Chain A
């Protein structure tokens, strides 16, 4: 049988998309359909499902654990997405500067991303222990706050003296001259060491013993436990987002910056009117990935396990899993399915909302 070129191309096209279509059907459409049906049923994996209408959704609304998980997920998504987007941009701007050893800095910046989530969580559990590095650092800061103030005061004073002295001879001397800053740091360091030797600015304090993990304390919109996960999540996600911004930065033509410089634009104006609008498609990607990733955050919470109370770490994704496979309890697949669909809906609404507030996939200039 001889196929015409047109038909051969059509056949090849279908063959190429078939694997994707099969996986889309099996793992998305079919799974979505089953989840939707389960959400209207009472099902424990063993007995036949029983149709219960909207009872699962109504049960979710009256379950305090669900409302808590919902609140946590929303706050977590907004806080982490905002912080990681800003920090990733700043890091990309720093990594994009043409300095010696640029590739080394980029590798160091990217390093946290290649560590496994499980390993990072275990490290962070250790770091956030009552006698962990965070509390030890806070204890040190609390004991040396006077010394730090002395250090900062000496830096400021030396820079002021050098600036005023320089201005007497040269008009172009800037107050933030790097050489003056280096000198001020060196002098302040010597002064701080001498003060520490005499015990000036150092006080004895009780060891800070903040319970980060195994606590029900709440700070603002999140429990303290989830704040610790905020730090961990940002630390591990920023490098990947930084790479996206870095690629975006390198696609902006230098000619735009050169023209702006000729027009007398300040660094801030160049960032505000060239870099930021040109990076808008990247920002859209970064924010979208951030929202989806943070709303579906599961592994770090699951790995915490008994290290923290359920109420201090529960999120929507974990709530879904917790209902599907409650440790030692009867599976509640209907409730889990309803929660999973609400999570999907919330994710969709959040992504649409970000477009509504102006973060879109088109260049905004």
Chain B
């Protein structure tokens, strides 16, 4: 009798929903991200996952994530859902190994900021749903502006207002410079795009036209004009490091500065404004740095994987991410979230960065199938002029020749 009862109990257990769960393998970065994703999966979304019959297993990757996913997709061992950065996503989208966003999730995609969807669109198909994003904004140290007796930066400033304020600070204070200038397209783009210049045009070519030249001359002359310092000259390699160490009055960075300044300069009185406008067009330029949740095309649990993406990008999940101060939500409607209205410098920086995705000429930080090869040409041109190794004319001519070779123009 006892044996019979045990057998029936066992069969009942086997038939229960616990054993009907789909295990969805999820992969993203390691480090701090492990706690964030696990909390999201095991606490914030625990009820929804149980209801959907999904058990998510997070497989963090330390090291080169892009290379890891590329190899895994090629070998057919990729997890079911994983991060895809817009910067290196193109070859994966082109490979056909990433599933198009499901019909059911199109409604989610409609709620995402359009510039983010654009970053994950390949041949008209959406290949992932943006989980969060960043753009560029200008952070500045209010104490330095006060010491120099210079008006604070404003979101209405154009390039020349911005430059003249930095020049005034540099002229007034001996040991502080205006801005750290870096030979990096990821910062220069804030000026180049404002002119209306397009990095890769409809024909697939890069043309360094007069609009580009205007921005190139403005950016590379900031040091000579007494508005900035070459970051390498003060032992730094990014503008945020210069601001955090109080070497400069401003930085051009994203919302990642919140955490950095909290650790590096907790007592700094700072504020954030939008990228300065182009003096002619009045438009701003900006880059969107974003990462999607994408589904492997050969996933055995495809339906559950798409469902999990829906849950991970749901208003509830994104609200939690936003209120934890971890990242900016990709849902457009969350722009009205009370979090952004707080009288708090961190929340203010987040709001300015959030608004950056929908203000002016905004491009994803992505260069099609060229990737780093495209960006390195631009970085080298910037570096050559900033180090006085080439004139503006020479640098642009050499860069144009390199782009023509790269894009087959």
Contacts and interface: CB of A to CB of B under 8 A. Distances in A.
Contacts of B71: 45
A214 B237 CA distance: 11
Contact of A214 (B88, B235, B383): B383
A130 interface: yes
A215 B372 CA distance: 18
Given A129-B235, A130-B232, A331 B372 contact: no
A45 B67 CA distance: 11
B234 A131 contact: yes
B70 A45 contact: yes
B87 interface: yes
Interface stretch (B47-55, B93-101, B201-209): B93-101
A157 B91 CA distance: 71
Given A44-B91, A45-B70, A328 B367 contact: yes
Given A217-B389, A309-B380, A329 B369 contact: yes
A328 B366 CA distance: 8
A199 interface: no
B372 A329 contact: yes
Given A327-B66, A327-B372, A329-B369, A309 B383 contact: yes
B118 interface: no
Contact of B95 (A47, A130, A328, A329): A47
A214 B70 contact: no
B91 A214 contact: no
Interface string A200-220: 000000000101001111000
Given A307-B237, A330-B91, A46 B372 contact: no
Interface string B91-120: 100111100000000000000000000000
Given A47-B95, A325-B70, A330-B91, A309 B232 contact: no
Contacts of B383: 214-216, 309
A326 interface: yes
B95 A44 contact: yes
A328 B90 contact: yes
A132 B95 CA distance: 45
Interface in B346-386: 366-367, 369-373, 375-376, 379-380, 383-384
Given A214-B183, A214-B232, A330-B94, A46 B376 contact: no
Nearest to A311: B380
Interface in A265-314: 306-307, 309-311
B312 interface: no
A325 to B, nearest CB: 5
B379 A329 contact: no
A327 to B, nearest CB: 4
A215 B379 CA distance: 11
Given A307-B237, A325-B67, A326-B372, A215 B91 contact: no
A326 B371 contact: yes
Contact of A331 (B91, B97, B366, B379): B91
Contacts of A330: 90-91, 94, 369, 371
A46 B70 CA distance: 9
How many interface residues does chain A have, given as a range?
20 to 34
Nearest to B71: A45
A211 B232 contact: yes
A131 B235 contact: yes
B10 to A, nearest CB: 45
Residue of A132, A306, A307, A325 ringed by the most chain B CB atoms within 10 A? A306
Contacts of A64: 405
A361 B384 CA distance: 47
Contacts of A209: 233
B389 A215 contact: yes
B368 to A, nearest CB: 9
A327 B371 contact: yes
A331 B366 CA distance: 16
Interface string B145-177: 000000000000000000000000000000000
Interface residues of B, number: 38
A264 to B, nearest CB: 58
A129 B372 contact: no
Contacts of A331: 70, 91
Nearest to B89: A328
B87 A328 contact: yes
Interface string B217-232: 0000000000000101
B190 to A, nearest CB: 18
Nearest to B230: A130
Nearest to B380: A309
Contacts of B73: 46
A327 B387 CA distance: 25
A116 to B, nearest CB: 16
A209 B97 CA distance: 49
A67 to B, nearest CB: 13
Contacts of B373: 326, 329
A311 B389 CA distance: 14
Contact of B371 (A306, A310, A328): A328
Contacts of B67: 325
Interface in A307-359: 307, 309-311, 325-331
Nearest to A309: B380
B74 A45 contact: yes
Interface in B221-253: 230, 232-235, 237
B389 A216 contact: yes
B387 A214 contact: yes
A215 B387 contact: yes
Contacts of A306: 184, 237, 379
A45 B76 CA distance: 11
Residue of B94, B184, B372 ringed by the most chain A CB atoms within 10 A? B372
A307 B231 CA distance: 12
Contacts of A325: 66-67, 70
Contacts of B232: 129-130, 211, 214
Contacts of B367: 328
A211 B371 contact: no
B97 to A, nearest CB: 6
Contacts of B183: 214
B376 A310 contact: yes
A328 B389 contact: no
Closest 7 CB pairs of A and B: A328-B371, A329-B371, A46-B95, A327-B372, A45-B74, A330-B91, A328-B88
5 contacts: A130-B233, A306-B184, A325-B66, A328-B91, A328-B371
